[in-house]
Amino acid sequence: MNIDKVEISRLKMPLKNQFETSFGRLTYKDFLVVSVHSGDFIGYAESASLPYPIYNEETTGTVSYILKEFLIPKLFSAKSIKHPTDIHELFMPIRRNNMAKAVLDGAIWDLYSKQQGISLATALGGHKSEIDVGVSIGIEDTVEKVLEKVEQFIGEGYKKIKIKIKPGHDVEVIRAIREQFSPNIPLMADANSAYSLNDVNILKQLDQFNLIMIEQPLSHDDIIDHAKLQEQLATPICLDESIHSVEDARKAIELGSCKIINIKVGRVGGLTEAKKIHDLCKSHNIPVWCGGMLEAGIGRAHNIALSSLDNFSIPGDTSASDRYWAYDIVTPEVMLSQPGRLQVPDSPGIGYEINEAVLNQYVIDKELFTKELILK
């Protein structure tokens, strides 16, 4: 794969509705679209990063810096890149900065699939032609507003309803949902690290609601206390923030810190590492699902392709474009094929075209990198 140039566009896209988690409120998504060019082929990916370091330590600004200063120069000075997994090797000496690595890794995976004339899903080893999808509901000012959203998304057929919780917005919200809707709706809670072991009594109360899982109740960097908590909870714990690599996943499984893992491509440094975590979890009978970072269409397309792997057996946060966006940057937009289901594209690469007209409306900065410029 001979890379001629890399283009980075920075986008600022307003969310249709603000999205609040225990770590803060987001009203827009500020992210990068990276394209890698090789002859007539172009691979695309978007950064999972947020404008502030509140989910993890990265921001769109740090992703941009690491790409320009380290990762793009590494890409251009590599002797030969035969397969996207070579990128993973190439970036290994750089510590962390996983969202920065993931965006270039993802663009190369898309490029490779297009050059091979196969879908990204096929390139990754996925076999599903359709996937079940869920939706994530943020913290609202009132319980009534949460109930309205739950009603709307159940109506759209979403196969998993995830509720953001934090101290003071937890047991009553979940109770209200269980009282208002059929006890069978697939429900879970995501705390984004808002609790500590001192809150074990609150977390234990959640056991009565038959949740599919509780996601990341404790600290963003913890796997020890989660193991202690899991011993005391009937509800499976799912880790999100704490898992950055297949090694983290191995240790968490060994310790009993979780029974389910949320795989986010950005958080783990790319599709190659995401697939490794999928495979490891499969061999330990740990189901996985694909998390989201409020992606626009390009990121969503990557998530759909990844979710076609068979151990993605729980619906992911890979909702349709209209969950967050008035207009999406891909065409067609990501739309449910039937209630709560998405088709996995079988055309080459991510399987969605870029909607340049929409994308350009949101671009606030653009930079081009060539081998000559970078290695001068």
Among 171, 170, 153, CA closest to 161 = 153
Instruction: Spell out the residues 6+ positions from residue 184 whose beta carbon is closer than 8 angstroms to its own.
Output: none
Total residues contacting ligand OSB by CB under 6 A comes to 13
Q: Answer yes or no whether residue 317 interacts with Mg ion by CB under 5 A.
A: no
109/289 with CB nearer Mg ion = 289
**Closest residue to bound ligand OSB by CB:** 292
Site for ligand OSB in 312-331 (CB under 6 A): 317, 319
Among this protein's residues, is 264 annotated catalytic?
yes
Separation of alpha carbons 113 and 258, rounded Å: 33
Task: State the binding string over 275-294 for ligand OSB (x if CB under 6 A, else -).
Answer: ----------------xxxx
Q: In the bound complex, what is the minimum distance in angstroms from residue 238's beta carbon to Mg ion?
A: 8
The count of residues interacting with Mg ion (CB under 5 A) is 3
Using rule CB under 6 A, residue 140 touches ligand OSB: no
Nearest distance from residue 216's CB to ligand OSB, in Å?
7
Q: Which of 189, 160, 161, 186 is nearest to 315 (CA)?
A: 160
**136 is an interface residue for ligand OSB by CB under 6 A:** yes
Which of 29, 160, 164, 276 is labelled catalytic?
164
- Identify whether the C-beta of residue 198 lies closer than 8 Å to the C-beta of residue 228: no
Name the active-site residue from 101, 114, 259, 264: 264
Identify residues 214-253 at the interface with ligand OSB (CB under 6 A). 240
Task: Report the site for Mg ion in 203-242 (rule: CB under 5 A).
Answer: 215, 240
Does 193 interact with ligand OSB (rule: CB under 6 A)?
Answer: no
Structure tokens at 246: 């297949």
Residues that bind ligand OSB (CB under 6 A): 21, 55, 136, 190, 192, 240, 291-295, 317, 319
Residues that bind Mg ion (CB under 5 A): 190, 215, 240
Among all residues, which ones are annotated catalytic? 164, 264
